[in-house]
Amino acid sequence: DAMVIQNPRYQVTQFGKPVTLSCSQTLNHNVMYWYQQKSSQAPKLLFHYYDKDFNNEADTPDNFQSRRPNTSFCFLDIRSPGLGDAAMYLCATSGGTTSVGEQYFGPGTRLTVT
C-alpha cells in the first residue's frame, strides 16, 4: 500500500544535541510538509516543499531545518533541541491528481528532549 513512513516513531535526544527525523513516501506526491504538534493541540506547519522549492513559515525557528534530497524523502533537522521542542512531528504529502487538497499523514515521530 502506498503510504507515508516516519522514522523513528519515538526519538529521545538530549538538550542541545542535534537530531534528524526522517519521512519517506511511496505516493509520488510532489508536496511534502512538516508539522509540529504539541499535546493534542492543532498541528502547526513548520515548512513545506513544492517539488524542490522550499517554503519556510515566518515563525519557524532557525533551529529547524529541512532537506529533501529527492521526491521520496524529506528530513527534519533540529540543530539544538530545547525542552520546548518536545512534541509530535508529523510529515504529510499531497499532490495526487484525484485527491485535490488532501494531505496524507505519516504516523508521526514523538520527540522527547531530556
Partner 1 sequence: AQSVAQPEDQVNVAEGNPLTVKCTYSVSGNPYLFWYVQYPNRGLQFLLKYITGDNLVKGSYGFEAEFNKSQTSFHLKKPSALVSDSALYFCAVSLRNSGNTPLVFGKGTRLSVIA
Residue 24, beta-bridge partner list: 5, 73
Is 17 or 106 the residue whose CB approaches partner 1 more closely?
Answer: 106
Residue appearing with cell numbers 504516523 = 107
**Residue 32 interacts with partner 1 (CB under 8 A)?**
no
Residue 52 is given by DSSP the state T
Given 22, 27, 61, 107, the residue binding partner 1 (CB under 8 A): 107
**Residue 5 interacts with partner 1 (CB under 8 A)?**
no
Considering only residues 33 to 92 of the shown chain, the ones binding partner 1 according to CB under 8 A are 33, 40-43, 45, 48, 50, 55, 90, 92
- Spatial contact of 64 and 94, defined as CB atoms under 8 Å apart: no
Q: Which residues are near partner 1 by CB under 8 A?
A: 4, 6, 30-31, 33, 40-43, 45, 48, 50, 55, 90, 92, 94-95, 100-108, 110
